[in-house]
A and B are shown apart, each in its own frame.
Chain A
Amino acid sequence: MHAPTSTFPQRVSIAIHDKRLQAALDHASGGFVTKRAAQVAALPEFEALRERARSVKEHVLAHLDTYLLRYEEQVTRQGGHVHWASTAEEAREIVLGICRKVNAKTVTKGKSMVSEEIGLNDALEAAGCEVIETDLGEYIIQLAHEPPSHIIVPAVHKTRAQVGDLFDEHHRPLGYTKHLTEVSEMVNEARQVLRGHYFRADVGITGGNFLIAETGSSIIVTNEGNGDLTQTLARVHIVTSGIERVVPTLDDAVTFLRLLARSATGQETETYTTVSTGPRRAGDLDGPQEYHVVLVDNGRSKMLGGPFREMLRCIRCGACLNHCPVYTSIGGHAYGWVYPGPMGSVLTPLINGIDKAYDLPNACTLNGRCQTVCPVKIPLPGLLRELRRQQFEGGLTPAPIRFGLKAWAFLARRPRLYHFKMRIGIALLSRFARGRAALTWLPLAGGWTDTRDLPAPQGRTFQQAWSARKGARP
């Protein structure tokens, strides 16, 4: 992984003061939320689909080795190759090995979060390959040398003016000299530039939204058709996918497909759903000559055995990002790695180490919207709480917070003392407020009141008010 050079609070501060980013985030998140809600309202079976999807994933996870072996057997039967990578490094080595074997110079790529996770582009470029991202959003951030800021719309943080400038810089040497201001012109220019790459690519790499044990197939969904051109026109097709993506049958995949587009972009279905099984058949006029699948573990099998198992149900739809008040305020880059938002705050510490991403599980208000919209019902707030607990147990929580938590625990276990202290505290604050509705400054708590006001207590504690109310009722 790239170790970020700044801290999470520094990145958050930059993001919150970035007016262009804030405008882009406001524009994007509202649209996704509204469109998703409309799709859910139009499908009475949505809740039943979520429940079925949850059960299918739980069933697969309980038999993960068996399903992966079935899948491998079918891929092999269809003339494909399955490679197993227990770490990101192994995954990169496997892909590089295939590329070397076929003497690959040019590699086109459809969108794949696993390839981001394993840092594949840098490794391919270091090995001398030209790598071209073909999803328009991924292409834009590749030109900008940035990581994705959203798992579904990777360039969501870029304005059209920024894209116009990037195209000026990178397309001018190719003979495209007109400065573009309209989205339609930009899409068209990218289409022309990328067409050339598809046809000369040696290797095409895509992700895999679902792997089908029944048939040995991999499924991708796109709106642009870039994944299809990538995998059909290259000599060799490589699928990079997490081991948790296997589902038993084509019918099961349909359950997830019904949830994925609606949850992700608020579409009824994506434009292209593509089921790929093995390489070009005898007599076929097109298609890749080789078909490889790289199954990436990278910490997933460890998650299977502990309290984070439910995270392995994730289908990477991004709904939790779109509905998260923290993500929609700070964007994806502040999270510091490839997976942002609630799902990223769980995955990043689990994949990179719980000590490497202290802030992420704590940058959550536990409001629960992510869990409410998750198509596979992952209890994200619960998993984030569990990470906080493990951080505390592992001694990673900073001393002032540990002290505060311990002090609170001491009091909370002693109700009489707690109530006594609370009465004093509330009375003091109330006097300090002297009739004001909110306190803008508190002695010894300037760090807290610098950025927010504390509503002034009205004189009695909740417990006192409650007792009085009970007393007043017969």
Chain B
Amino acid sequence: MTSAGTGRDQVLASIRQSLGRTGPDARTLVPLAGTGPRPSFDGDPVERFVAKMLEKSATLVRIASLADVGPAVARFVASVGAGRSLCVSNALAAIAWPAELEIEHRAAVRADETSVTPCFAAVAESGGIVTLSGPDTPSTLNFVPDNHIVVVHASQVVRHFEDIWTQWRASGRPMPRTVNIISGPSRTADIEQTIQLGAHGPRRLHLLLVAG
């Protein structure tokens, strides 16, 4: 696109003029030394994660192993009066789902009431679960249904947000289309600063915390 080309040259030339240069910086860019401060906190990161998520209106149950996911999901769905059909991340296909639930592995559509997804990490600092988009983990599952159920392993809890990036770099995975950090159900305070849950995204965020 030629117009984009001209705009690019103009913007870059104007930036350089303001920086007192006529061309690209001849020096090698030296990154800024040091790192940003991280909030310090005492105690068990998993317990902090739990407390922070509850503070932000998520609900949570602790289960012993992945074998308990199916029954826990069935109980939750019944408790909120949602339908028995679930849109489930393909990454959780190996779970033994109770026969009463209808499980489909796909992206979410408007009619979906409940989704179940894994997460990549969870953050203790101020509470949040982290998901990476991919063929098995479509990001619509995080936003379209009314109820979003997330399976979190206690071992996935990291202390700070920076630790998410460290884990991602160590995983050797390419950058996914989307990294979602989710800290509770959808909310708005746009009318008279009255907090209301379930603005556009899920009305409920339910966490299944798997020991270990």
Contact check, A281 vs B176: say whether CB atoms are below 8 A apart. Answer: yes
9 closest Cβ contacts across the A-B interface?
A225-B201, A305-B18, A255-B36, A283-B135, A224-B199, A301-B14, A137-B190, A304-B18, A84-B8
> Does A109 sit at the interface, judged by CB under 8 A?
no
Evaluate contact between B178 and A90: CB separation under 8 angstroms: no
User: How far is B20's CA from A258's CA once the two chains are assembled, in angstroms?
Assistant: 33
Instruction: Name the one of B24, B179, B187, B190 contacting A275, with C-beta atoms under 8 angstroms.
Output: B179
Q: A65-B16, A199-B110, A295-B11 are in contact. List 6 more A-B contacts (CB 8 A).
A: A187-B198, A194-B200, A224-B188, A225-B201, A243-B11, A271-B187
**A254 CB–B CB distance under 8 Å:** yes
Instruction: Tell whether, in the assembled complex, residue B140 and residue A280 are in contact, meaning their CB atoms are under 8 Å apart.
Output: no
- Contact at B190–A273, with CB atoms within 8 Å? no
Q: With both chains docked as a complex, state the minimum distance between the C-beta of A256 and any C-beta of chain B, in angstroms.
A: 9
Cα(A269)–Cα(B130), bound, Å: 14
Q: How far is the CB of A39 from chain B (nearest CB, A)?
A: 10
A interface residue count range (under 10 / 10 to 19 / 20 to 34 / 35 or more): 35 or more
Chain A proximity mask over B43-67: 1 for CB below 8 Å, otherwise 0: 0000000001000100000000000
* Interface size range on B against A: 35 or more
**Using an 8 Å CB-CB cutoff, how does the interface string of A260-275 with B read, 1 for contact, 0 for none?**
0000010011111111
Could you list some 5 contacts between A and B, CB below 8 A?
A97-B3, A136-B200, A283-B135, A301-B11, A301-B15
Task: Please give me the residue from chain B that is nearest to A277 by CB atom.
Answer: B175
Tell me the smallest distance from the CB of A90 to a CB of chain B, in Å: 5
Using CB atoms, name the residue of chain A closest to B56.
A271
User: In the assembled complex, how far is the CB of residue B40 from the closest CB belonging to chain A, in whole angstroms?
Assistant: 7
Residues of A within 8 A of B184 (CB): 271
Given contacts A55-B32, A284-B134, A285-B135, contact A224 B37 (CB under 8 A): no
Q: Which residues of B contact A258 (CB under 8 A)?
A: 36, 39, 161
B139 A287 Cβ-Cβ under 8 A = yes
A45 touches B177 (CB 8 A): no
Tell me if A269 and B183 are in contact (CB < 8 A). Answer: yes
| Nearest CB on A from B145, distance (A) | 11
Neighbouring B residues of A100 by C-beta, 8 Å: none
Task: Name A52's contact: one of B37, B138, B189 (CB within 8 Å).
Answer: B37
**How far is A220 from B126 in the complex, measured between Cα atoms in Å?**
18
With a cutoff of 8 Å between Cβ atoms, the chain A residues found around residue B165 in the complex are: 249-251, 254
User: A251 to B163, alpha carbons, bound, how many Å?
Assistant: 9
Stretch from A226-234, A400-408, A439-447, A451-459 forming part of the interface with B: A226-234
SS class of chain B's interface: helix, strand, loop or mixed?
Answer: loop
Instruction: For A254, list chain B residues within 8 Å (CB).
Output: 36, 160-162, 165
Q: Which residues of A contact B (CB under 8 A)?
A: 24, 27-28, 31, 43-45, 48-49, 52-53, 55-56, 59, 62-66, 68-69, 78, 83-86, 90, 93-94, 97, 134-137, 140, 153-156, 158-160, 163, 183-184, 186-188, 191, 194-195, 199, 215-217, 223-226, 228-229, 232-233, 243, 248-252, 254-255, 257-258, 265, 268-281, 283-287, 295, 297, 301-306
Flag if A287 contacts B40 (CB, 8 Å).
Answer: no
Q: What sequence of 0s and 1s flags, for each residue 1-34 of chain B, a beta carbon within 8 Å of any chain A beta carbon?
A: 1011001101110111111100011000101101
Contact among A52, A69, A153, A268 with B190 in the assembled complex (CB-CB below 8 Å): A153
Q: Which residues from chain B sit less than 8 Å from chain A, CB to CB?
A: 1, 3-4, 7-8, 10-12, 14-20, 24-25, 29, 31-32, 34-40, 52, 56, 106-108, 110, 126-128, 133-135, 138-140, 142-144, 160-162, 165, 175-194, 196, 198-202
Contacts of B106 in A (CB 8 A): 285
In the complex with contacts A191-B199, A271-B185, A287-B178, A27-B4 CB distance below 8 A: no
8 Å CB contact of A276 from B4, B107, B177: B177
Instruction: Please tell me if the beta carbons of B201 and A63 are within 8 angstroms of each other in the complex.
Output: no
Chain A residue contacts of B191, Cβ below 8 A: 136, 140, 155, 158, 160, 163, 183, 186-187
The residues of B that contact A86 with a CB separation of less than 8 Å are: 7, 10-11, 14
Residue of B nearest to A231 (CB): B178
Residues of B within 8 A of A160 (CB): 191-192, 194
Query: What is the distance, in angstroms, from A77's C-beta to the closest C-beta of chain B?
Result: 9
Q: Given A65-B24, A258-B39, do A224 and B200 touch, yes or no (CB 8 Å)?
A: yes
User: Chain B residues near A280 (CB, 8 Å)?
Assistant: 177
Contact of B189 among A48, A63, A85, A223 (CB under 8 A): A223
Q: Out of B11, B175, B200, B202, which one reaches A78, CB within 8 Å? A: B175
Please measure, in the bound complex, the distance between the C-alpha atom of A54 and the C-alpha atom of B156, giving whole angstroms.
32
Whole-angstrom distance between the alpha carbons of A251 and B169 in the complex? 12
| Cα-based distance from A49 to B160 in the complex (angstroms) | 14
Interfacial chain A residues near B17, Cβ < 8 Å: 301, 305
Tell me, in angstroms, the Cα distance from A154 to B132 when the chains sit together: 31
CB-nearest residue of chain A to B32:
A59
**CB <8 Å contact, A301 and B183:** no
Q: Report whether A90 and B7 are in contact in the complex, using a CB–CB cutoff of 8 Å.
A: yes
Judging by beta carbons under 8 Å apart, are B11 and A44 in contact? no
Q: Is the CB of A243 within 8 A of B190?
A: no
Q: Assess whether A63 is in contact with B25, with CB atoms less than 8 Å apart.
A: yes
